[in-house]
Amino acid sequence: MLELAPPWWFAAAAAAMVVVAALFVVPRPWRSTRVAGGAQESAARHGPRWQRMLLLLVLPAAAVAMYLWLGNPGALHPERAGLSAQLRASDEPLGEAATGHALAELQQHLERHPDDARAWVIKSRLDMRAQRFDLAAAGFERALKDGSKTAGDARVWVEYAEARGMQQGGTLAGLPRQLVDKALSLNPELAQALDLAGSAAWEAGEFGLAVIHWKRLLAQIPEGDPRHVQLSTAIQRAEQRARFALPPSR
């Protein structure tokens, strides 16, 4: 997941810009001229006062604009502190009480910030764990809308595919398979996407394609790992099915 630039970084940049501006704006008695001619020369060198005042205002404004563009403005809000901690720990298992508290906090946050894609992802994951597949699918869809930063995260597309698959009774046919293909287009080596792509191909009777996806996944699993043995067995079965499968109708 893309990490957003921390607020302190931009605050430091803004402070530095203010200092630079002040060096040009704030009067410096130790460099005051002794005669009118010297004062005119100093004014000519430093420019009109309004230009210097404009510089003092523009540089901090540029730092704020840079933060709004690259940073995480929500992190500056005092109410985001608790939520941000929850977002960072979103992959950790939660107890029933903690889950209920997190959902309530997320719901309140989303009422104030309905475009917070990351919060929608976390809420959808909690809904998936509670087997509320309709809510999870709707939340992932909201998080992946056009322009969202999460739209470039292949893992979220896989999670959306899983939610849609469970919503339609555990099958990956149709939209879930399309979502898995989207995830693979973003990250061709994502393990979860390769696993689901192989399962979707098996379900569709495309056993040779299932073998291709699962072999790419197998290369990522160390030998001796129980998952390596299980996947190797599945690949052998898919290869056997592929040898005896009828060619696709034209």
Helices 49-70, 7-25: axis angle to 10 degrees equals 170
CA distance linking residue 195 with residue 236, whole number of Å: 15
Give domain limits for the chain.
110-244
Q: What is the pLDDT of the chain when averaged over all its residues? A: 77
pLDDT in tens, 47-56: 566 666 666 6
CA distance linking residue 173 with residue 59, whole number of Å: 54
pLDDT in tens, 111-125: 999 989 999 999 999
What does the pLDDT read at residue 145? 87
Residue 41 has pLDDT above 60, yes or no: no
pLDDT in tens, 80-105: 444 545 444 555 555 566 677 788 88
Where does the pLDDT of residue 216 fall: very low under 50, low under 70, confident under 90, or very high at 90 and above?
very high
Average pLDDT for 205-223: 96
Burial of 157 (0-12, 13-18, 19+ CB in 10 A): buried
Q: In CATH, what is the architecture of 110-244?
A: Alpha Horseshoe (1.25)
The segment with the largest mean pLDDT, out of 56-60, 143-147, 188-192, is 188-192
Residue 242 has pLDDT above 80, yes or no: yes
Residue 184 has pLDDT above 50, yes or no: yes
Question: For the chain, how long is the longest CA-to-CA vector?
Answer: 102
Burial of 228 (0-12, 13-18, 19+ CB in 10 A): middle
What tokens appear for 31 in the block? Answer: 């460099």
